């Protein structure tokens, strides 16, 4: 079976080989380096994963989550024996959350509402926009940005939802004005089918999200795995992830998790021994999920691009969903978090309003340039949303203090 082709390695703007490059890197290794060094990657360190990064120095933020997803993605891919597959899956994992705005999914929801006249907001569509437009690395001859100028295969691997927005569709991967580059990267793809590398990234994200968010909830004292409210966890699973899951299947999945040898038999006590036991549990669960997928996935003939699919057993999907349900019930639906989220929504809405009013004088230079080049209100709204989405949790508060709370100087 042939490997990756020249078509897969093509970039929007052709780049001649560098005269001096030691050690020599493949096209996909260069893509990984570009994502690692991107400003958007650094900003992830100050963006919410589940618990705000300013609340505790142990809990995960978007950057540490992305690093963990990348490690899991690489391990899954390497199990199938292809080094370039692993490079692509790892890069996609490093990039998968670049488009998330301040305050996690809460921020994403409010920006989607506010950006309705411009086509909505979606973190994965924003990731594509960052990679192909907003990050500064390469330009076309006419001076327009092509972002990091990644290869076609890498951009496709980063595309979790390879379809545009549509009525009734909340998850999508491209805004209308980014369709040209989307159509370019999807050239040769089969309809809306995700490439194997994107499937690996998505699975690694699910595994990391489910296991590590539970770990954070336990360490933060919000969840005790020995005393779960099973009914509430079931409701969280159905309300957020698997609406058709019945009690019996969810109870069976929880029983499977509890049968893992390292599942705790007593409350977490904060000791080194307790933390080590919790780390052993996370390691065992990651191995359990990834091993099940590896055993279920036929890899004869090679997995890459649009040849082959990952197979995730039904029991594995249920166990992952149950872990997500635990984190959702004990952390995301907690009353104190709801109050904080309401204030965050108000803050982002007020920021969008004031930036639309103030225009380029209140925007960072690159977004001010985009505003001045925008032909209409729809496009100017998208510029403001791009600016707000680029902020971290900390800078969102700081911008709000400066632009909304502070009195506007007289004209």
pLDDT digits (tens, 9 = 90+) for 390-406: 999 999 999 999 999 86
If one counts the domains in the chain, the total is: 1
- Is residue 394 one of the residues assigned to a domain? no
- Is residue 227 one of the residues assigned to a domain? yes
SS3 151: strand
Mean pLDDT value of segment 42-52: 75
Average pLDDT, the chain: 92
Mean pLDDT value of segment 39-54: 76
pLDDT interval class at 53 (50, 70, 90): very low
Tell me the percentage of the chain whose pLDDT exceeds 70. 93
Q: Cα(381)–Cα(356) distance, rounded to whole angstroms?
A: 7
Q: Residue 87's pLDDT is what?
A: 96
- Is residue 223 one of the residues assigned to a domain? yes
pLDDT tens across 380-389, in order?
Answer: 999 999 999 9
pLDDT at 199 over 70: yes
- Is residue 316 one of the residues assigned to a domain? yes
Between the CA of residue 271 and those of 219, 268, 275, what are the distances in Å?
Answer: 10, 8, 6
Mean pLDDT value of segment 224-228: 97
DSSP class of residue 279?
A: H
Burial per residue of 163-196, b for 16 or more beta-carbon CB atoms within 10 angstroms, e otherwise? bbbeeeeeebbbbeebeebbeebbeebeeeebbb
pLDDT at 410 over 90: no
Is 74 within 8 Å of 66 (Cβ atoms)?
Answer: no
- Segments forming the whole domain that contains residue 244: 197-336
pLDDT tens across 341-376, in order?
Answer: 899 999 999 999 999 999 999 999 999 999 999 999
Count of other CB atoms within 10 angstroms of residue 271: 9
- Is residue 69 one of the residues assigned to a domain? no
pLDDT tens across 291-320, in order?
Answer: 999 999 987 767 889 988 999 999 999 999
- Is residue 51 one of the residues assigned to a domain? no
pLDDT at 178 over 90: yes
- Is residue 238 one of the residues assigned to a domain? yes
pTM: 0.93
Count of other CB atoms within 10 angstroms of residue 394: 15
Of the candidates 282, 262, 267, the residue with the CA atom closest to the CA atom of residue 224: 267
- Is residue 224 one of the residues assigned to a domain? yes
Between the CA of residue 254 and those of 8, 262, 302, 319, what are the distances in Å?
Answer: 42, 14, 34, 7
């Amino acid at each position: 079976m042939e490997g990756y082709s020249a078509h897969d390695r093509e970039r929007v703007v052709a780049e001649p080989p560098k005269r001096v490059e030691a050690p020599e890197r493949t096209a996909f290794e260069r893509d990984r380096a570009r994502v690692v060094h991107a400003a958007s990657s650094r900003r992830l360190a100050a963006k919410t994963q589940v618990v705000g990064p300013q609340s505790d120095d142990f809990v995960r933020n978007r950057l540490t989550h992305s690093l963990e997803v990348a490690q899991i993605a690489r391990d899954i891919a390497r199990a199938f024996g292809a080094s370039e597959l692993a490079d692509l899956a790892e890069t996609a994992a490093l990039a998968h959350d670049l488009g998330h705005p301040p305050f996690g999914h809460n921020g994403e929801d409010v920006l989607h509402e506010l950006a309705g006249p411009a086509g909505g907001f979606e973190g994965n569509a924003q990731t594509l926009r960052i990679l192909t437009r907003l990050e500064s690395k390469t330009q076309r001859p006419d001076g327009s940005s092509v972002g990091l100028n990644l290869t076609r295969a890498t951009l496709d691997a980063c595309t979790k939802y390879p379809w545009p927005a549509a009525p009734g569709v909340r998850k999508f991967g491209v805004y209308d004005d980014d369709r040209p580059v989307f159509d370019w990267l999807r050239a040769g793809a089969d309809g809306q089918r995700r490439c194997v590398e994107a499937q690996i990234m998505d699975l690694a994200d699910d595994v990391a999200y489910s296991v590590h968010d539970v770990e954070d909830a336990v360490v933060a004292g919000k969840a005790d795995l020995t005393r779960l409210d099973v009914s509430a966890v079931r409701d969280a699973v159905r309300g957020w992830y698997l609406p058709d899951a019945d009690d019996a299947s969810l109870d069976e999945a929880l029983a499977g998790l509890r049968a893992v040898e390292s599942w705790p038999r007593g409350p977490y006590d904060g000791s080194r021994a307790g933390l080590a036991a919790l780390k052993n549990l996370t390691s065992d669960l990651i191995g359990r999920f990834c091993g099940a997928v590896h055993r279920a996935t036929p890899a004869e003939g090679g997995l890459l691009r649009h040849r082959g699919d990952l197979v995730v057993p039904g029991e594995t999907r249920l166990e992952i969903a149950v872990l997500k349900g635990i984190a959702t019930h004990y952390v995301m639906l907690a009353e104190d978090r709801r109050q904080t989220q309401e204030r965050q929504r108000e803050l982002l809405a007020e920021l969008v309003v004031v930036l639309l009013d103030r225009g380029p004088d209140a925007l960072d230079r690159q977004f001010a340039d985009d505003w001045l080049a925008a032909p209409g209100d729809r496009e100017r709204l998208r510029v403001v949303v791009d600016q707000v989405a680029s902020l971290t949790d900390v800078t969102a508060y700081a911008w709000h203090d400066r632009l909304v709370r502070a009195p506007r100087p007289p004209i």
